[in-house]
Structure 1
Amino acid sequence: MKLLFLILVLFLLLQQPIFAWIVVASTDPFVSFMSSPASSPSISPLSASLAAFSPGIQVGVEDHHQMDSHKKLLFSLIVTFIALVATIFSLFCFWIYSRNHSQKSRNEDAEKGLALSLFMGKSNTMKVINKKGSVSSIDYKILEKGTKNFSDSNILGEGGFGCVYKAKLDDNLAVAVKKQDCASQDAEREFQNEVDLLSKILHPNIITILGYSIQDETRFIVYELMQNGSLEYQLHGPSHGAALTWYMRMKIALDTARALEYLHEHCNPQVIHRDLKSSNILLDSNFKAKLSDFGLAVADGGQNKNNIKLSGTLGYVAPEYLLDGKLTDKSDVYAFGVVLLELMLGRRPVEKLPPAQCQSIVTWAMPLLTDRSEVPKIVDPVIKDTMDLKHLYQVAAVAVLCVQPEPSYRPLITDVLHSLIPLVPMELGGTLRVTQPGIV
């Protein structure tokens, strides 16, 4: 309707002077000249002399002027029509673009806010403002009741400053509650940083914050519950990765890459996670991966990221950050490469060796990953011989690039993302067509 209204207004504005000009111009030029000499086109002295000498020449001049007037009128009408059509076409194209863009934005917002909307629809225990950058607090007593007074039997995992508990709120809605002891300034800073960032960041592959609570020196953050725990638990826990097929592992890598691309390329200012690791990649009931734990994340697009206090987890920290304190988005790419190695090899990022020594998965794997004859031999035994060797070589090559010692040699996470999409089946969010049924 808006487009039709704009076209109608434009058409009327353009047509008004045209109609007035046509009425004047369509009258006989000779009659107009006789009735109003001042309004007629000027005639050169040479033409006037010839007209005075011979009446026949005068008539010819008048016919000539009349023909010129008709030609000019026709030309003007054609130009005006073309301009009008071009304007209408441009407005139509702009309308189509605006409609598609608005629809895309609405779809993204709907997808991003789905978890929060479901939460709002099922629970009345908290007042969450469904707007970017705004999430309100929950009464501590509700969390205490939902976790059975923070019973050990409800612990889902442990972090640097506390534990994560499973809780049931109203209507048996299950959530995860992170309990943090914030007696130190560092812990308080991480709590504030995470609440601030997650209340603004909404993405299908980033954990959704549902609220927070403060009780004395203890802080609580409430998240959506991820039923399959962390990637670390799935890979290195009791099952040793038995539930993760090759394609499922590539899907988890793709989901994580999408989360990082959003942080690096679509957030303004850019966000560097700074603590990407398998324990911070959580899996829902369908093994969809979501990046969590943003306490150490840095959102600093314009300022120098050098000299930031060193933080992170041994085995995932990029060498330039560890040695020189230089932090860039390539630091996250390095950590992603380590996670990719974990998915391929089923090994921890750092393993203990006797006597009292440690070995990095990067140091151990690099010489083997560059030898095609060795790559199939070092794959996690759980998934050995279950993948196309070409795909395995490609993933190995991506991992090698990500963990290069020199940051400039590492790819952007966008390039990593595009290299993984063709390796993931369409059913899992990629573009690969799997012909064998049930293999996914």
Structure 2
Amino acid sequence: MLSLSRIAIAPSGFKESLSAQAAAEAIAAGVRRVLPDAEVDLIPLVDGGEGTARALATAGGGRLVALSATGPLGEVIGTHFALLDSGRTAVVEMAAVAGLSLVPARLRDPGATTTYGVGELIRAALDTGARRIVVGCGDSGTSDGGAGALQALGARLLDPDGFELPQGGGELVRLHRIDPTGLDPRLAGTEILVACNPYNVLCGERGVARVFGPQKGATPAQVERLSEGLERWAYVLTRDLRVRGTDLRSAAGTGASGGLGAGLAALGARLRPRFEVLLDHLDLDARLARADLVLTAEGALDEQTQRGKVPGEVARRAKLYDRPVLALAGTLGKGAHDVPGVDACHGILPAPMALAEALLRAAELLTDATERALRMIVLGARLPTQAEVSGTQRPSTVR
């Protein structure tokens, strides 16, 4: 007998349209159309990108700290970080100060954007007395290797003539040496955890400039310049900051957020798989174990989903408790039907439409798609199996 009395809804956000919270609420609305009496557990999940600080503050009884900092284009913007554990832990969300959504489409140039504001947020967190800082990596609009963040924290990046480099990853090809004497001394006594996708590396054919540069607006020529600059960045960082035991070119997570992972690792930060760091605050495993059905979602379900994306992680954990998983997505790409742990997937578009319209109507489309998918599940549960048709079993029912 199939029970659908407890539904866990654990989506990520849909880039440039829905936050994780908004996606969870849209899915819940679709569930209630079909199963109005079901117990619905909303678990909006963050992967280090947009909404991370707010979600963890809400889940952990913390608070947001609002302030101004340098945005990705060098302008002053309003941003925030979170304080948890009575102020002992700060959560710095890089997307809140250097995210792609903060860069208008016509101005997207990852050779010019900067992570300077990330360093300012870290410094502001230190000012509050926090001595454990979690940096959430995701949804970045930068490719400067974290150079801007280090500059904001007091490092001087010098060209062959001894002048400071301008901001932006496109300048790193001219880096001659790093002067670390001005680095904030409080960093030495602070635990910094970088919550990142371990599959992202700084350099090489799968380096961050080649994989993500085009998505951020880089031309082929800019991709090559950025790649060369990040190679130079890894070499000089390792030499001048005396990095030991970590290959900044290829270590897991060094390519996170346009290479911010590498820059922070050179300061002694630990790069950790993002879900190990972030999901502990949400009691996710216990909540999945209580569910009869798990619904997850993201903007695009494809072969990358199992490589550190929210639905892949939700499905992996749900299967530890033998829970069925349905994934909803804006688009179903190559490999969508092969994500381990996902029992079925469903696209939210009922008909072809322009991207702008789909983004605008994302909540409505997600609600409607959830309703359609659940009605099929309920219908399937009511249909007799072959054994039931032959009279050897009683028909199953949904309760």
Give TM-score scaled by structure 1 length: 0.23
Give the strand-richer structure, 1 or 2. Answer: 2
> Which protein is bigger by CA-based radius of gyration?
1
Indicate the structure whose relative CO is greater, using CA pairs within 8 Å and at least 6 residues apart. 2
Give the helix-richer structure, 1 or 2. Answer: 1
Give TM-score scaled by structure 2 length: 0.24
